[in-house]
């Protein structure tokens, strides 16, 4: 079988348990140029296989394929979330809201409390910040007051609200996906725990991703 895009997967799923399937990379079974048809391609691949000239691609077992699919999707969601975080930060910057220069994490609870307050009434930047922040940040009150002394236009307010909602939705969906990944990864707990003993490997999902890509 030639591995053309995703079209081979449903056929492979049906035949996997009843046939010994050799999945070939298109690069290695390409027919000679000429009048090319699907039927001629099939005959060509059959002839190559008959003479043991088709190198089969490695196909991991179904549980690993499922885990790989989900971990790759989680990576995509992480990238989407990062893009939205950058977009929100850019909106704050053009509005001269410099929270990022004062707090270590603009998306931390204290910082988001301040942003929510600004979005409720963009024209009021003289509100009391102290009740909105963690007590460990009390020493930064003067800096925070200067950091929010900007001007958020109605257009930027609307944009920030959309971006913030999208970011929160992405994080929520990512959490749902992670629950499914953890359930599938239970069978590989021994391998995952071994990977976590490697220096710099601290994130559980990074270890799961390694298992999904290498087993």
Tell me the CB-side half-sphere exposure of residue 98, using CA atoms within 13 A. Answer: 11
pTM exceeds 0.95, yes or no: no
User: For residues 91 and 163, is the Cβ–Cβ distance under 8 A?
Assistant: yes
- CA–CA dist 21, 45 (Å, integer): 13
> pLDDT tens, position by position, for the chain (215 residues)?
767 777 777 877 787 777 887 777 776 666 666 666 667 777 777 777 766 776 767 778 888 989 999 999 999 999 999 999 999 999 999 999 998 888 888 888 999 999 999 999 888 888 888 889 888 888 888 899 899 888 889 999 999 999 999 999 999 999 999 999 999 999 999 999 999 999 988 899 999 999 999 87
DSSP, collapsed to helix, strand or coil, labels residue 207 as helix
DSSP string, 24-87: B-GGGSPPPSSS--HHHHHHHHHHHHHTT--PBPP---HHHHHHHHHHHHHHHHHHHHHHHHHH
């Amino acid at each position: 079988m030639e591995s053309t895009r995703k079209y081979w997967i449903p056929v492979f799923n049906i035949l996997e348990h009843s046939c010994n399937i050799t999945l070939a990379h298109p690069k290695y079974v390409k027919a000679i140029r000429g009048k090319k048809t699907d039927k001629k391609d099939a005959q060509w691949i059959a002839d190559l296989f008959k003479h043991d000239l088709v190198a089969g691609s490695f196909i991991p077992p179904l549980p690993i394929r499922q885990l790989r699919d989900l971990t790759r999707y989680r990576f995509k969601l992480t990238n989407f979330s990062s893009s939205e975080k950058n977009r929100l930060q850019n909106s704050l910057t053009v509005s001269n809201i410099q929270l990022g220069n004062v707090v270590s994490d603009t998306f931390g609870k204290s910082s988001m409390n301040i942003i929510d307050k600004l979005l409720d009434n963009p024209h009021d930047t003289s509100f009391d910040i102290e009740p909105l922040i963690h007590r460990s940040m009390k020493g930064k009150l003067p800096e925070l007051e200067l950091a929010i002394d900007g001007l958020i236009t109605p257009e930027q307010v609307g944009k920030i609200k959309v971006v913030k909602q999208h970011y929160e939705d992405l994080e929520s969906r990512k959490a749902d996906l992670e629950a499914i990944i953890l359930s599938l990864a239970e069978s590989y707990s021994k391998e995952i725990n071994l990977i976590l003993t490697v220096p710099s490997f601290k994130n559980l999902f990074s270890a799961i991703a390694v298992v999904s890509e290498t087993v």
